[in-house]
């Protein structure tokens, strides 16, 4: 019965998610339909309209991709990955965006071996999600530090520490709920997807936060070479 219970819980999460996805996809579809109708009736679709249409299409594509990660847990192909290398790539990718928000990104490596077992693209997706959340939380700028630490039991710890607005105890509880967002342009899928990916890697993702002071997102991953 425990197994049955677990299965039904899983179903309800996917069902909940599917309903949310349908809702999220319908809004951009409504916009797209409206613009197509405008074109049909007046032939006056402008480049600005087309830009919006492309953005809306990208939005649909993004939501569906995120959904697929959750709804269809694939067997992941793990290989040894240098965490610090991967983090540095992500920092390079997001540095310009961070600077625009007056946020300084810093990787603080306190460990010799930084190889973990994982799927590179999926881990990158997690790092990007957490880094973006940190940057977005720092409306007045500040420093975002990524610590890579050793830990007993052949585990590598990666922390994303920001100086942002933090979260209330209530929001902290809701973190990872599908479509939970406090942002006008957020989709509330980032943490949920990240948790799923890290769980698939036999790791953990936990959060500590103080309202008005900042947040620490902590990942643990099995180190490569662990028996
Ligand atoms: P989104 O970023 O699209 O809102 P997420 O799943 O990434 O979705 O995050 C959900 C919510 O959790 C955010 O809207 C925000 O309220 C809160 N949150 C996540 N990370 C942080 C952080 N580093 N600092 C403050 N709040 C955060
Ligand atoms: Mg996010």
Give DSSP secondary structure letters for the chain: -HHHHHHHHHHHHHHHHHHHHHHHHHHHHHHHHHHHHHHHHH----HHHHHHHHHHHHHHHHHHHHHHHHHS-PPP--EEEEHHHHHHHHHHHHHHHHHHTTEEEEEEE--S--EEEE-HHHHHHHHHHHHHHHHHH-TT-EEEEEEEEEETTTEEEEEEE--S----HHHHHHTTSTT---STT--S-HHHHHHHHHHHTT-EEEEEEETTTEEEEEEEEEBTT--
Q: Is the CB of 194 under 6 A from ligand 1?
A: no
φ, ψ at 194 (rounded to 5°): -60, -45
Q: How far is ligand 2, taken at its centre, from the CA of residue 29, in Å? A: 22
First vs last C-alpha separation in the chain: 33
pLDDT at 35 over 90: yes
**Residue range 103-127: mean pLDDT, rounded:** 89
pLDDT band at 20 (very low <50, low <70, confident <90, very high): confident
Asked if residue 151 lies in contact with residue 186, where contact means CB atoms within 8 angstroms, the answer is no
Distance from Cα 109 to the centre of ligand 1, integer Å: 25
28, 60 contact by CB (below 8 A)? yes
Considering only CA atoms, which residue is closest to atom 7 of ligand 1?
A: 190
With cut-offs at 50, 70 and 90, classify the pLDDT of residue 198.
very high
| 15 phi-psi bin (left φ>0, alpha ψ -120 to 50, beta other) | alpha
What is the band of 193 on the pLDDT scale with cuts at 50, 70, 90? Answer: confident
- Is 133 close to ligand 1, i.e. is its CB under 6 Å away? yes
Cα separation, 82 vs 64, whole angstroms: 29
Interface TM-score (ipTM) > 0.95: yes
What is the Å distance from ligand 1's center to 211 Cα?
Answer: 13
Position 28 pLDDT exceeds 80: yes
Ligand 1 pocket member 181 (CB < 6 A): yes
Give the number of whichever ligand sits closest to the CA of residue 128.
Answer: 2
* Predicted confidence (pLDDT) at residue 11 exceeds the cutoff of 60: no
Instruction: Please report which confidence band the pLDDT of residue 72 belongs to, taking 50, 70 and 90 as the band edges.
Output: low
Could you tell me the pTM of the whole model? 0.76
The overall average pLDDT reported for the chain is 87
> HSE (CB half, 13 Å, CA atoms) of 118?
29
Q: What's the pLDDT band for 227 if we cut at 50, 70, 90? A: very low
Residue 41 neighbours by CB distance under 10 Å? 8
């Amino acid at each position: 019965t425990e197994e049955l219970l677990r299965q039904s819980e899983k179903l309800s999460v996917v069902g909940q998610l599917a309903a949310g996805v349908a809702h999220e996809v319908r809004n951009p579809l409504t916009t797209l339909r409206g613009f197509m109708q405008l074109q049909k009736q007046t032939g006056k679709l402008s480049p600005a309209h087309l830009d919006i249409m492309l953005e809306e299409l990208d939005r649909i594509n993004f939501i569906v991709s995120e959904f697929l990660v959750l709804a269809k847990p694939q067997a992941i192909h793990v290989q040894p990955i240098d965490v610090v290398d991967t983090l540095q790539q992500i920092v390079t990718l997001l540095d310009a965006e961070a600077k625009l928000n007056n946020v300084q990104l810093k990787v603080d490596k306190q460990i010799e071996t930084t190889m973990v077992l994982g799927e590179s693209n999926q881990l990158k997706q997690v790092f990007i999600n957490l880094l973006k959340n940190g940057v977005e939380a720092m409306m007045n700028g500040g420093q975002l530090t990524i610590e890579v630490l050793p830990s007993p039991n052949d585990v590598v710890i990666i922390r994303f520490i920001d100086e942002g607005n933090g979260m209330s105890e209530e929001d902290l509880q809701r973190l990872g709920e599908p479509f939970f967002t406090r942002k006008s342009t957020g989709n509330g899928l980032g943490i949920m997807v990240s948790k799923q990916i890290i769980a698939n890697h036999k790791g953990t993702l936990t959060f500590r936060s103080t309202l008005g002071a900042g947040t620490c997102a902590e990942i643990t991953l099995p180190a490569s070479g662990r028996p």
